[in-house]
Structures are given as structure tokens and as C-alpha cells.
Structure 1
Amino acid sequence: MRVCLIASSRYPVREPFAGGLEALTHQLARQLAARGHEVSLFAASGSDPDLPVTLIDAGTFEASPAAQRDVNAPAATWMAEHHAYLSLMLDLARDGAGRFDLVHNHSLHHLPVAMAPMLDVPLLTTLHTPPVPWLESAIATAPGASAFTAVSRRTAQAWSHVVASDTVLNGVDVETWSLGPGGGPAVWSGRLVREKAPHVAIDAARAAGLPIVLVGPAPDPDYFREHVAPRLGPDAVHAGHLDHRALARLLGRAAVAVVTPEWDEPYGLVAAEAMACGTPVAAYARGALPELVDEGVGALARPGDPADLAAAIDRARRCDRRAVRRHAVERLSADRMVSEYEQRYARLVGAEAA
């Protein structure tokens, strides 16, 4: 098939990834191309030039000085995203049917959903977040114009008051995230931000008697300075923002991966990456994490209870690493994910042709 993937116009789809959405889109683009599909990817400038796809650059826009003087002028970032998605959707409305069989939207922007009725090709939107007002508004404006999947049953349920969606669990490349020997420190990976609470992971690992390595960008300097930096020391270090190869090596040597959301995680890609390396997961039982982690491959703790998380770390580190790896290969692989998306693509394209 000829597939157009819509990603973020703000963050490039390349390592080290800004977040799980960019990592997932990169994985899907690469796997679809490997299966013989003709893939085009709309993403921010600077996306991975080695992807075997056609890159559709989001382009740039800067309002004139006169427009910027308007007292109600939106922020430059908001305006740039609006321009990028408006340009893309108008372009797809003009001749998308001649270039693509299907458009798969992974953005969090409202315009791809709101403008879907203009397209002569089916549009599939994957819900990566809990409900947000701008997407609810777009769905209400264009009911039935897009089909929907969600990255977990929890996310599908959260959106069920707005729209029905099939669940397609995210997947990871189990060749990149390969089985490691374990036995090392605990690892926490992701964006070091308040809602992911890496400071709680430090406290819980210390209580469990394990050193911990934090990996990821720190986009909120105030949070990092106030809550993370004071907790760092010989048994708790921040290794920076690593690419997947370096992170996979670290996870493969880790005794346990710690996941500490203080919000309802729509999926929890970091947990799947760790388990693919054979590393068991100790996590707060929030959002979709109970769909990924059970007592055979890790341990869940009461949300907001660091002492219970410390106990979960102790239980999780005793799991059989080969069983953890097997769980990831069977349930959380990119191969499984891409096959499920191919099935949905075929149904949508078949329905459009009927």
C-alpha cells in the first residue's frame, strides 16, 4: 500500500527521540517499508534521513511583524504547528488520492481529524493520549470522517465517551531491544518531568537498596533543579539522553526497570523496551501499565506509594529474565503491532473501494 504517516511537526522523528510518539512513528515507518509498503512521513525538519521513506517536511512559517503586533496573536509555536498541518491537509485534499491509499495520523493536532472529510482517501487516527479538548472538538466537528485506534485498552476506554476505537498495543523492535544479562543497577528512562516522577524512582530504589541510573532529557529545568538534582549522588546518577543502542545496553545490564507515572500513562513504551531486554519492571499500577506488566514479568505497586514501590522493586528483580523477554516478544513486539495495523489498513482501503 501507499501510506502517508502524519507525525509531530514540532519534534523530528530521529534519535534520541523527544518521546514515545516519535519513537513509535519511526518504528512503524521503518517496519512498514521493510514489508514492501510505499511510505511517506510528514514530520518536523531534521527527521532521520536514513529512514527508507519519503520525508514530507513540515516547513516553516513566521508571521509578519504587523501580524505579530496584534494583541491577540497566538504564540509562534502554535502558529507554526497550525500552518504545518493546514498546509499538509490542503495538499492531501488536492491530490492525496493520486499518491496514497491511506493516511495514518499519529499527531496530537486537531486539524488532521477536523479536515478528514476533505480527503478522498481513508484516514486512520491513533489516540496516543488521554482525551484533550482540541481533539474532542475536531471529532465532534467531523464525526465518522476518521477511523480510530488506541494504544491501549485504558486509552480506548478513556476516549469511549467521544469515539469508539480499536486497541493496537504499541510495539518495540525486539532485535534492537535484545536480551541482556541483568545484575546491574535499577534504571529509570523517559522525560524527566513532574508527571513521570523520576524523583520517586530514586527514593524507592534507595529504599530497596539498589543504585539507580536515570536516562532521558530534562525539559523542565525547574522540576529537575528542585526535585531530581538534590537526590543525585553516588547511588543515583543521571546519564543524560541516550540513543536506543546505548539505552538498550544499559537496560540489558539492569536488574530492574522502574516506572513511576503520576498520571495515567496511555501506554508505557519504556516498560516494553525494558522487558524486551529481559529486564523486569516495577511500576505504579496506573494507566495502561497493568496491561503490560504482571507478576510473571515484574511487579505493580499502589500508585503514589513509594514504600510499596520499593517492595515491588524487590519482587520484580527476582523474575526470570528469559520469561520476561518471552512475554515481550510474544505480546509487545513491533512485528505484532505492524501486522495489526496492516489488517486495519486493508479493511479501511477495502471499505473505501467497495
Structure 2
Amino acid sequence: MARRRVLFLTSPVGPLGSGEGGGVETNLMNLTPILARRGHTVAIAAPAGSVQPAPEVFVYQVGGNPPPYATTARRDAPVICQPDGVLERMWELAMRVQDQYDVIIGINYDWLAYYLTPFFKTPVGHIISIVSTIDAVDAIIRERFYEYPNHFAVNTCAQASTFPFIDPCRMMSLYGGVDLARYSLNLAPQDRICWVARISPEKGLEDAFAVAQRLRIPLDVCGKMQHPEYWEACVARYPDVDVTYHGFLNQDALHRVVRNAKALLMTPHWIEAFGNTCIEAMAGGTPVIAYNAGGPSELVQDGVSGFLVPPRDVDALVEAVRRVDRLDRRLVRKRAEKFSLERFADRYERFIEHVICGDPQALLEWELQASHPLD
């Protein structure tokens, strides 16, 4: 692949390193250093206060107010543009510096980002960061997707299927990746379960509490405390649960907690686009018990690297935890090897070339591989 000059625009909800940006933040922190080591010139426009993923990755620090969270918005939420918004200022910066780059890649779910696409001279690609959530945003995605079909990608086919106007077989799925060398297999975990996500109602933490109470098993919780009142409600509702809140941990500290658990529970009350936590857990040999919806449904091999259960079915979660010791944690780790950072970077490079060149043959190859995207 030719060496490219790439400008990424991250989620505007919080600085890189804060945990506010969730999977978008994690992916950029992992991906951009690899692209830089491969010879690409890589920069990120991010909210002020962001950390630098690596010395060779330049970060534009952009001030301004963050937008509301789309994950908790109503479907009929209006489009709101802020004169002092960080989202608006990030895309204004991209417009100013676009001549310095071969391609601009936005990883978000923001109306403004899609609207501005035809006004750039430099090609703009979009990685849709979450599932269909707001009607107005979906409408502009639909319009731009029909105009620039080679400029869009998603995390998983399950995510793409939430948009009625998108054929998942014609949409590039980029998945995610982990640095497998930083994760060690643990064949002797303790008798405890863990849960990792932002502490926010749509993540369904109360279901993990319910499982812990039913089985009288300790629960480890890790993640950004976005809604303290929600956390307090969970604790009050299940006062007998032996729960340890570890806070928002760096990658190594998080791995030490998760690899020590017999299972990771993924209990979202909405559809997850991907689920980096899932592959991070499997990299340490920890099976994942997840609701059979969204990204985790494509990542977990039911009965091999974990279990998939019906959404919001706590009884099924409890039964899966009871059976999880039967799984071979070496096979769990093997599943994670499908999601190495090198393979993740390969997929991103192909998408970048596709945005720049619009090669019809590349789209055909994506279509042919859609049913086996991780082979």
C-alpha cells in the first residue's frame, strides 16, 4: 500500500485517554501507532486534553463544548450545532488543514460530519461508530451513503443491519484489534465474574448485579463513571452483592482484573456496534457471556469462546456462568487471535485506499468476503 497522509477525527464527547470515547478512543489509541510505523503520516483531531497515542502520531488539541451523547438520545432528537462546540471546531480545523492530507477519516455518529462530506476537496471517509439511534442522523447518512458508497464503513455486519438502507454485504466491516503480546493466558482464574463498560444505563450493569446475587459470586466492575446515580441505584438494589469497583483502568491494569475472572459479562440494553472489551477478555483466555445481539454476536463463538444468550434474560446469564468452567480457555485465546492489531491495521489500510481511489474491484472483494470477514 502507498504511504498516505491520514487525518483522523475522533469522537467529540471527550479527550483521548479519558475513557469518554469508548471503543472509538480505544481503537485510535491502538491503531494509529501501527499505521505510523508502517510509514503513514498520521494525525488525530481530538478534544483538548487528549493524550498522544505515540510520539509519531500528532494530535491537534481542539477546545470547545462536547455534544450530547447520542447513545442516550431519543430517535426524534433534533440536530443541534453549537458555535463553541468541539465537534464543529474539529471539522473546521479539518477543513483548514485538508491540503496537508490525502484522506480524512471521521469515526463518529454526528450529523455535521456527514453533511460536510461534499464540501471537502480531500476525500472524507466515515466509520459509523454506533448503531442506528437518531432519525435525523440516519437521514443524512442515507443521503451521503448513496452519493459516496465507498466512503463508509462500520464495525460489524450486525451494526450495519440496524440501518434499513444499508446492505451489510456491501458495507465494509472493520471490527477491532488488540495487541496480543500484551495479554497473557490465565488457565487458573478465581471464582468471580467481571463486567467492563461505561457506567451508564444503556450498558445494563444491573443484570450483572442480578447474576452475582443469584450465584453469590464476587463481581468486579471496571469503567468510566458517567452516571453515579445509576451506579448507586444498582448498589442499593442489590446490597448483598460483593462488588468491587476498580474505576477506569489503563490497559494493563484492566487485563489483570479481567484475566483473573472466570467470565466476562456483556449485558447491554441496546445494540453494541462492536465490543472491544470482548476481544480483550478473550485475549487473556476469559470466556465472554454476552447477549446475542450486535457486535458480540459476531465475536463470541457460542459454546467455544463463551456463550450467547437472549437479550435481557438474566436466567440464561446465570445458567451460562454455571457452565462456563467447561470451556477451554486456550480455545478462547485462539479466538482472540483473529483480532490482532496487525489484521486490524490491514483492514483500515484497505478502507483508506478505497476512500481515496474508489476501486470497484476492492468493493467486490469486500462483498465476496462479507460472509467470512475474519478469515
Question: 1:20 is matched with which residue?
Answer: 23
- 2:342 aligned with 1:297, yes or no? no
Question: 2:137 is matched with which residue?
Answer: 135
Question: 1:83 is matched with which residue?
Answer: 88
Question: 2:343 is matched with which residue?
Answer: 336
Instruction: Tell me, in whole angstroms, the C-alpha distance in 2 between the residues paired with 1:187 and 1:125.
Output: 33
Instruction: Tell me, in whole angstroms, the C-alpha distance in 1 between the residues paired with 2:180 and 2:91.
Output: 36
> Against the structure 1 CA distance between its residues 248 and 56, is the aligned structure 2 distance closer, same or farther, given a 3 Å change threshold?
same
> Against the structure 1 CA distance between its residues 140 and 319, is the aligned structure 2 distance closer, same or farther, given a 3 Å change threshold?
closer
Instruction: Tell me, in whole angstroms, the C-alpha distance in 2 between the residues paired with 1:236 and 1:61.
Output: 34
Per the normalisation by structure 2, the TM-score is: 0.82
Per the normalisation by structure 1, the TM-score is: 0.86
Deviation at 1:159, TM superposition (A): 2.1
Question: 1:11 is matched with which residue?
Answer: 14
Q: What secondary structure, in the 3-state scheme, does the structure 2 residue paired with 1:106 have?
A: strand
Unaligned runs of 5+ residues in structure 2 are 67-78, 360-375
Instruction: Tell me, in whole angstroms, the C-alpha distance in 2 between the residues paired with 1:347 and 1:148.
Output: 10
Unaligned runs of 5+ residues in structure 1 are 63-73
Q: Deviations over 1:94-151 (max 9, x none)?
A: xx1x311111110222222211112222222111211233432333554424611110
Which amino acid in structure 1 is aligned with residue 10 of structure 2?
A
> Against the structure 1 CA distance between its residues 86 and 99, is the aligned structure 2 distance closer, same or farther, given a 3 Å change threshold?
closer
Question: Contact (CA 8 Å) 2:199, 2:228: kept in 1 or not?
Answer: no
Runs (4 or more) in structure 1 with deviation over 3 Å come to 15-18, 74-79, 140-143
> Against the structure 1 CA distance between its residues 61 and 26, is the aligned structure 2 distance closer, same or farther, given a 3 Å change threshold?
same
Question: Contact (CA 8 Å) 1:180, 1:278: kept in 2 or not?
Answer: yes
Any residues of structure 2 matched to 1:112-261 within 5 Å, and which? Answer: 112-131=113-132, 132-140=134-142, 142=144, 143-145=146-148, 147-161=151-165, 165-184=171-190, 185-231=192-238, 235-261=242-268
Of 313, 319, 323, 2:327 maps to 319
Instruction: Tell me, in whole angstroms, the C-alpha distance in 1 between the residues paired with 2:129 and 2:195.
Output: 21
Instruction: Tell me, in whole angstroms, the C-alpha distance in 1 between the residues paired with 2:220 and 2:160.
Output: 33
Q: Deviations over 1:230-277 (max 9, x none)?
A: 425562222222111100111121111111111111112211111111
> Against the structure 1 CA distance between its residues 144 and 186, is the aligned structure 2 distance closer, same or farther, given a 3 Å change threshold?
same
Q: What secondary structure, in the 3-state scheme, does the structure 1 residue paired with 2:161 have?
A: helix
Question: Contact (CA 8 Å) 2:5, 2:40: kept in 1 or not?
Answer: yes
Instruction: Tell me, in whole angstroms, the C-alpha distance in 1 between the residues paired with 2:356 and 2:175.
Output: 21
> Against the structure 1 CA distance between its residues 178 and 31, is the aligned structure 2 distance closer, same or farther, given a 3 Å change threshold?
farther
Number of corresponding residues: 336
Instruction: Tell me, in whole angstroms, the C-alpha distance in 2 between the residues paired with 1:141 and 1:156.
Output: 15
Which amino acid in structure 2 is aligned with residue 170 of structure 1?
G
Question: Contact (CA 8 Å) 2:35, 2:42: kept in 1 or not?
Answer: yes
Question: Contact (CA 8 Å) 1:182, 1:252: kept in 2 or not?
Answer: no
Question: Contact (CA 8 Å) 1:179, 1:278: kept in 2 or not?
Answer: yes
**RMSD over equivalenced CA pairs, Å:** 2.5
Question: Contact (CA 8 Å) 1:197, 1:262: kept in 2 or not?
Answer: yes
Question: Contact (CA 8 Å) 2:272, 2:296: kept in 1 or not?
Answer: yes
Any residues of structure 2 matched to 1:14-53 within 5 Å, and which? Answer: 14=17, 16=19, 18-49=21-52, 51=54, 52-53=56-57
Instruction: Tell me, in whole angstroms, the C-alpha distance in 2 between the residues paired with 1:292 and 1:134.
Output: 30
